[in-house]
Structure 1
Amino acid sequence: MKPTITTYQYNYITQQVDDLVSAELSVNDKQVLAAVLAKILDRITPLLPMDEPVAQTFVTQLRAERLTRAKAAKLIAPLVPLVIPFPQLTSKQLEKLFRKVKKLKQPSWSAMHLHEMTYLGWNDGGSQKKYLVAPYQGRLIGIQGELAPQTVKGVCAICQTIGNVALFLSTTKSSGLGTYTKKGNYICRDSAQCNRQLTDPQPLADFLTVVRPQRKK
């Protein structure tokens, strides 16, 4: 079974199934439910490798069963092997991405679900830093920035979802004369939660364009 689904597509499929469950728990009209199911299948079927038995079974069961939250979780679980996971980087690979960081705090890989990750993000509470590793223009880049201690309710620039966000600022330009340019935006403090909510990679790419260091001309 070859992984073909991106993590954000998997999140989108999960989100659509959650919407179907919500409809089935709140609506009794069979015609309305049939219309909701048809719309959701139109959205997610093109993302699935329908030549795979796992995907075929998933769609068949989605049509046949009236779902609960528990049933939906069991239905989605077999799709995980079809998801392209985020690569688990070695310590040396991470250090190479953050050459200027002398004592890089390593992320806790054991607590991460790689099939849910479009990007890697972890916090260093001691230094009020946040580290991001994300795909950008065909390669992985590493970005470090200051993460404000204050958490507010707002829209995350990466996942475009309302939640607990904090201001992330990175140094994008240095004049060499002691002056710096810092840019950033509000993003989810919890990167794992952010990843689970991310269904479109474009806002992430836009955010990286803003906060990545600029090359000296």
Structure 2
Amino acid sequence: MIHTKETNDNTGSTAENPKAFIRNDQYNFIKDQAKILVAGQASVNDAEVLNVLRHLAHEKVYKLFPSLTEEQKKILNPLVQVKELGEAEAFLEKLQPYIIPFKTVSAPGLKKLFPKAKKFKGPKLETINFNRTSYLAWTESSNLMYLVAEEDDQLIGIQGSFTRSGKQGICTICNRHSEVGMFIAKTKSSGQDQFIKRGNYICQDTAACNDHVKKLDKLHEFIGRLKK
């Protein structure tokens, strides 16, 4: 397992870092490629095969960023030199200052996203590592869940219910096999007073889910379905 020292910004981004260019999901993807290179080095003796693995890792990571500057390329290029666990951890540690944190949030700001919520408490912001966050989700009372994500550079909030399934399944957001629960949101049917329930299984542990999100498309698709 690759471990890195990850900065915990307790209040979200207080000032934009002009050098930051890596989202949390992109960092997770890069981390996954580093794991592949370490595993390949330990199990493959063929130099040509290892070169192919390095080339593929380099190509896949570059595809994450449509317009890299030369400085950004220099930051990412050491990935192909990773052979051992220690080298992978050192490389990932050097990426930390370039991670884009989740959009700035505050307790009053979050409350405004859920104007109809009664007895709204909000998450413990001081416990959240915003550099390693693609979305926020927390539960209140027995099964009330709030989900917050970015859409078109704005924060959106969705309120729903969360029921633990007591079993393993595929998370709709991170596409990983984990302990999941059913998140269901109610939306008002157009032109009617009826409500439609929509939902799917997501990770019970949202922090772990954020650690495994490697693309934002499934998160956006999930939110899109909930909002219909």
Q: Taking structure 2 as the reference length, what is the TM-score of the superposition?
A: 0.82
Query: Alpha-carbon deviation of 1:133?
Result: 0.5
Q: 1:196 aligns with which of 211, 215, 222?
A: 211
- Alignment match of 2:105 (pick from 86, 89, 104): 89
Tell me the amino acid that sits aligned with residue 195 of structure 2.
Y
Q: 1:56 aligns to what?
A: 74
Shift of the alpha carbon at 1:11? 1.3
Among candidates 135, 141, 156, match of residue 119 of structure 1: 135
Match of 1:105 among 108, 121, 124: 121
Give ranges in structure 2 of 5+ residues lacking alignment.
1-17
Larger relative contact order (Cα-Cα within 8 Å, sequence gap ≥ 6):
2
Structure 1 segments of 4 or more deviating over 6 A? none
Among all aligned residue pairs of Structure 1 and Structure 2, give the percentage whose two residues are the same amino acid: 33
1:106-129 CA-to-partner distances (Å, cap 9, x unmatched) read 2122322212211111222x3212
Check whether the contact 1:58–1:76 (CA below 8 A) recurs between aligned residues. Answer: no
Q: Is the 8 A contact 1:85 1:114 kept in 2?
A: yes
Q: Over aligned residues, Cα RMSD in angstroms?
A: 2.1
Is the 1:5–1:47 Cα contact (8 Å) retained in structure 2?
Answer: no
Question: Are the aligned partners of 1:151 and 1:189 in contact in 2 as well (CA < 8 Å)?
Answer: no
Instruction: Report Cα offsets for 1:7-53 as digits up to 9, x if no partner.
Output: 21111111111111121222222221111111101111354645337
SS of 2:183 mapped into structure 1: strand
TM-superposed deviation, 1:154:
1.1
| TM-score (ref. length: structure 1) | 0.85
- Amino acid across the alignment from 2:144: K
* SS of equivalent to 1:148: strand
Structure 2 residue corresponding to 1:32, chosen from 41, 49, 56: 49
1:74 matched residue in structure 2 = 90
Q: Where in structure 1 are there 5+ consecutive unaligned residues?
A: none
- Structure 1 equivalent of residue 28 of structure 2: 11
Q: Kindly tell me the number of residue pairs found equivalent between the two proteins.
A: 207
